[in-house]
Amino acid sequence: MKRVSILLLLVLSLALATGVAGAQNIELTYWTHTDDNRTIIENRYIEEFQELYPNVTIKRVVNEAAKMGDLMLTAFSANNAPDLFNLPIEQEYGYMMHYRVAPVDYEAIGYKDAQEMIDQYLAGTFDPVTMDGQIYGLPLELTNWSIYINKNIFRDAGLDPEKDYPKTWEEMIEVADKLTLRDGEIITRRGFDFRYPYYLVAMLPMVEQLGGQLLSDDGKTAIVNDEAWLQVFEWFRTWGPHGRNLGSPTYTSARKIFNMNNNDIGMCLTGFYQQGRIRIDNPEFYDSGEWMVVPYPVFENAVNDVACSYYGHYMMVNAQTSPEKQEWAWRFIAYMLDHPWEYLETVNIIQPRGDLLADPRYMELPYMNVFMDDMERGHIVFLHENGFQFERFIKEAIESVMLSNMPSEEALDILRERIQEVLDDQY
């Protein structure tokens, strides 16, 4: 009897010990987008964090940036989303509006309250992720895009990159035409090309330069100032295969091939982070100084001096995960983000923290003044619960004009009708 009691006691103790240990073990899943430089440092942060807190295990899952939006939505709709993640704010906005993400746990990340945290960052940083007085994300990066130039290609076309770079969209067509090489109708070297899926970031500001808007100020009417939209649509027709044949979404992404310096792209539109990627992909080109960055152009008849919109990648925490996991997720996020200089130097991404921006070394970084000036001329990307959907509608409209040669008026009418239908939908 005594032996049986001892055995039972042992089994119970073992079960209890296992149970306690199990309850303390936290496994977090973190989804993010591809970036080789960031992967290196974040994997190290994970190791360090796990050493500090042996009960926490973090699984970092990397997805292609273009697929992240779809994957995340599918995961959330199946109630199987990661514990923490980052996406561009225009995609994250819907998650916040539908309370799918948790408010920041200020205490877990070492702040007394929201104000103390806000004070550490650039004014307005948290505006896009604030709802009903709560803040729902911490900024991993705030990014805007300017024009990167390959100086060799300019010189090859008989242009001086320092003087002849395009200041207006009209000049962009002329300069790109000089830089473009063709085999008959087939472009073998583009002067410049856009980042086509990102119409809210890069194309909507072109409309705004001409006084147009996507929605009226009260948010109830789609498309303000038809003339502005039509001018931009016609500009894209001129740009595409039915016009001067200077570029198209069906060619390889300009940003991706720029780094290779293979004489196939003269200019591309991208952010400060591109410098880190050039350094990794082609250190020789990076060190050569044969590239430069110039401001986002404006139309000659612009009524507003608007640059490319900036957007943020915010770290967010799944509201459906357990409170304990949420707390650890915020702790881990704070740990990672507490290395703003390393993110800047290694990954070339900018956390809008006061201490970072005030550092004299910050403005000494290559072409940082261009990005900062453009950021001042720009504004945060268009944010709306249905922003992701509107971007698809704009993409369809522009590509119908540019590639299928649809009359601009017809494309605009379809765009207006589709956006208005979403706005009028009472659901």
Partner 1 sequence: MFVIPSLILFSAFSFFPIMNAFYESFFNRNLLSLRPPRFVGWDNYTYLFRSKDFWLSVQNTLIFTLGTFLPLLVFSLILAVFIMSISRFRRFFQMAFYSPAVLSSVVAALIWLLIFDPRGLANQGMNALLGTAGINYNWLSTTGMLRLSTIIVYFWKYIGYFTVIFVSGIGSIPDTLGEAALIDGANRWTLFWHVTFPLLKPTTMLVSIMTMIQCLKTFSTQYMFTSAGAPTRPINVITLNIYNTAIKDYRIGRATAMSILLFVVMFVFTWLQLRVSRTEDVSYT
Looking at beta carbons only, is 59 or 182 nearer to partner 1?
A: 182
- Is there binding between residue 95 and partner 1 (CB under 8 A)? yes
Whole-angstrom Cα distance, residue 298 to residue 204? 12
Q: What is the dihedral of CA 390, 253, 295, 150, to 10 degrees?
A: -170
Looking at beta carbons only, is 326 or 400 nearer to partner 1?
A: 400
Burial class (CB in 10 A: 0-12, 13-18, 19+), 197: middle
Q: Which range of residues in 19-27, 35-43, 150-158, 250-258 is near partner 1 by CB under 8 A?
A: 250-258
Looking at beta carbons only, is 167 or 392 nearer to partner 1?
A: 392
CB 128 within 8 Å of CB 383: yes
- Is there binding between residue 239 and partner 1 (CB under 8 A)? no
Among 76, 126, 229, 343, interactor with partner 1 by CB under 8 A: 76
What track of x and - describes contact with partner 1 for positions 189 through 208 (by CB under 8 A)?
-------x------------
Among 37, 209, 400, 408, interactor with partner 1 by CB under 8 A: 400
Among 183, 217, 284, 364, interactor with partner 1 by CB under 8 A: 183
- Is there binding between residue 252 and partner 1 (CB under 8 A)? yes
Give the count of residues interacting with partner 1 (CB under 8 A).
Answer: 40
Among 53, 106, 111, 251, interactor with partner 1 by CB under 8 A: 251
How many CB atoms neighbour CB 313 within 10 A?
A: 22
Beta-carbon-side half-sphere exposure of residue 415 (alpha carbons within 13 Å) = 29
- Is there binding between residue 98 and partner 1 (CB under 8 A)? yes
- Is there binding between residue 418 and partner 1 (CB under 8 A)? yes
The encoded tokens of residue 11 equal: 């089994």
- Is there binding between residue 404 and partner 1 (CB under 8 A)? yes
Whole-angstrom Cα distance, residue 180 to residue 168? 18
Question: Residue holding tokens 């993110």?
Answer: 343
Question: Residue holding tokens 């200020």?
Answer: 106
Please count the helices (runs of H) and the strands (runs of E) in the chain: 21, 14
- Is there binding between residue 77 and partner 1 (CB under 8 A)? yes
Looking at beta carbons only, is 211 or 249 nearer to partner 1?
A: 249
Stretch 105-134 residues interacting with partner 1 (CB under 8 A): none
Looking at beta carbons only, is 116 or 409 nearer to partner 1?
A: 409
Among 13, 25, 74, 80, interactor with partner 1 by CB under 8 A: 74
Looking at beta carbons only, is 57 or 253 nearer to partner 1?
A: 253
Beta-carbon-side half-sphere exposure of residue 314 (alpha carbons within 13 Å) = 26
Burial class (CB in 10 A: 0-12, 13-18, 19+), 181: middle
What minimum distance in Å lies between the beta carbon of 190 and partner 1?
11
Query: What DSSP assignment string belongs to 190-207?
Result: EEEE--TT-HHHHTHHHH
Task: List CB contacts of 307: < 8 A, sequence separation 6 or more.
Answer: 144, 146, 205, 295, 296, 374, 375, 377, 378
User: What are the residues binding partner 1 (CB under 8 A)?
Assistant: 66, 70, 73-74, 76-77, 94-95, 97-100, 182-188, 196, 241, 248-252, 386, 388-389, 392, 395-396, 399-400, 403-405, 418, 422, 427
